[in-house]
């Protein structure tokens, strides 16, 4: 068993001391819920899903309602993994022009720069706050969305310049996070457009990016896993609460995707994001023999009028990740254990922390 596997097992088995509180639900045949045509709720239809219940009065959150989710969405969502091993073949339909949406707290390097709308909003909030705290407005949004053709040009230029057969600093075309619109390279307007670095007042960005759903993707500590050199300027958006969890666990993102596979609807990963915001997170493997995958959700989530109560993201590998807001945590939840695992360096050389760069 590897160190990483050992830690995951320890988290699951830690019981009453678990920071990752695991809530087990047991089902009898009489309480099964399945898809059908008995009932369809408007809140679910608004999300684009169809579901129905066989039971008239289901109240327990341990009893799932299944929605049919298209496997075509495997490469869609904030949590997709894109790296040298996993090509991005999707298309982000939520792109916006930064020229039209940016605030005055930063500049952009090109007028036609596009980015995922959620990441654009998060950058606005983060750099607005950065300016309020430091008085600086000289950060540059230097590179957001890139087409495959643009990536091919950059990759070929790097190969020609280095003389190598492959690049360890530029992703091959089709395999760059920039294709997703969920990544941004930052620079500083110092007369040279220097790369953003974790130093001086700019350290604030590294210390606080996770609060805005972003994290430093490529570090010196995780380069053996990511297969890229450290990049102090490249931030990836995955949203709340995942960016904070990744930071606290100190995992490369590749390992975080594997880590989440240990959790299911019956035994989810619970996380306290703030004093009044709690999450239940779990993985659902894609059904290989079907064009859709049945995603289990709690009754409360499906019937909620709040469209943000849950989200489903493909992982661009083999399944889907459900992020569900919950009203309360399990009685045995201990929020200190994640920090303990991180401080004990239990993931060995795979640890990656923006605070240490």
Q: What are the pLDDT tens digits along the chain (357 aa)?
A: 544 444 444 443 333 333 344 444 543 333 333 333 333 344 444 444 444 433 334 445 678 999 999 999 999 999 999 999 999 999 999 999 999 999 999 999 999 999 999 999 999 999 999 999 999 999 999 999 999 999 999 999 999 999 999 898 999 999 999 999 999 999 999 999 999 999 999 999 999 999 999 999 999 999 999 999 999 999 999 999 999 999 999 999 999 999 999 999 999 999 999 999 999 999 999 999 999 999 999 999 999 999 899 999 999 999 999 999 999 999 888 877 777 656 654 444 333 333 333
Identify the CA nearest to 256 among candidates 1, 2, 3, 4. Answer: 4
pTM for this model (two decimals): 0.83
- CA dist list (Å): 73 to 22, 35, 291, 292, 298: 27, 19, 10, 9, 21
8 Å CB contact between 350 and 11: no
Q: What is the pLDDT of residue 343?
A: 60
> Which spans in the chain are helix H?
3-13, 42-46, 98-101, 117-134, 148-162, 203-208, 223-226, 242-249, 253-260, 299-303, 337-343
Q: Do residues 182 and 116 touch, judged by C-beta distance below 8 A?
A: yes
Peptide bond connecting 162 to the previous residue in cis, omega within 30 degrees of 0: no
- Distance, in Å, from the CA atom of 192 to the CA atom of 114, rounded to the nearest integer, reads 23
179 phi, psi to nearest 5 deg = -65, -25
Q: Tokens 């596997």 map to which residue?
A: 5
pLDDT at 107: 97
């Amino acid at each position: 068993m590897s160190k990483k596997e050992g830690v995951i097992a320890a988290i699951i088995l830690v019981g009453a001391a678990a920071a990752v509180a695991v809530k087990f639900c047991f089902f009898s045949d009489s309480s099964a819920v399945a898809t059908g045509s008995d009932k369809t709720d408007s809140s679910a239809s608004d999300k684009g899903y169809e579901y129905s219940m066989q039971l008239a009065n289901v109240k327990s959150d341990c009893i799932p309602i299944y929605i049919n989710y298209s496997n075509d969405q495997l490469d869609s969502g904030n949590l997709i993994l894109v790296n040298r091993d996993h090509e991005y073949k999707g298309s982000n339909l939520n792109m916006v022009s930064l020229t039209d949406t940016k605030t005055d707290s930063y500049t952009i390097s090109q007028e036609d720069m596009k980015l995922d709308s959620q990441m654009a909003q998060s950058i606005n909030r983060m750099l607005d706050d950065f300016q309020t705290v430091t008085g600086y407005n000289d950060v540059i949004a230097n590179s957001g969305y890139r087409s495959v053709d643009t990536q091919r040009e950059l990759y070929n230029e790097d190969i020609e310049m280095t003389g190598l057969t492959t690049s360890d600093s530029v992703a091959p075309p089709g395999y760059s996070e920039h294709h997703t619109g969920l990544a941004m390279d930052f620079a500083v307007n110092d007369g040279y457009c220097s790369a953003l670095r974790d130093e001086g007042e700019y350290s604030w960005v590294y210390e606080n990016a996770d609060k805005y759903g972003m994290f430093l993707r490529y570090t010196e500590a995780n380069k053996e896993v990511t297969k890229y050199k450290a990049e102090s300027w490249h931030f990836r958006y995955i949203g709340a609460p995942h960016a904070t969890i990744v930071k606290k666990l100190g995992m490369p993102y590749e390992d975080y995707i594997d880590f989440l596979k240990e959790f299911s609807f019956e035994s989810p990963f619970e996380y306290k994001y703030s004093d009044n915001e709690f999450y239940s997170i779990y993985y659902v493997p894609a059904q290989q023999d079907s064009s859709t995958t049945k995603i289990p959700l709690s009754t409360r989530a499906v019937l909620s009028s709040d469209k943000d109560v849950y989200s489903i993201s493909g992982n661009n590998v083999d399944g889907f990740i459900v992020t569900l807001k919950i009203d309360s945590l399990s009685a045995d939840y201990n929020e200190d254990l994640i920090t303990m695992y991180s401080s004990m360096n239990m993931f060995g050389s795979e640890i990656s922390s923006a605070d240490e760069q």
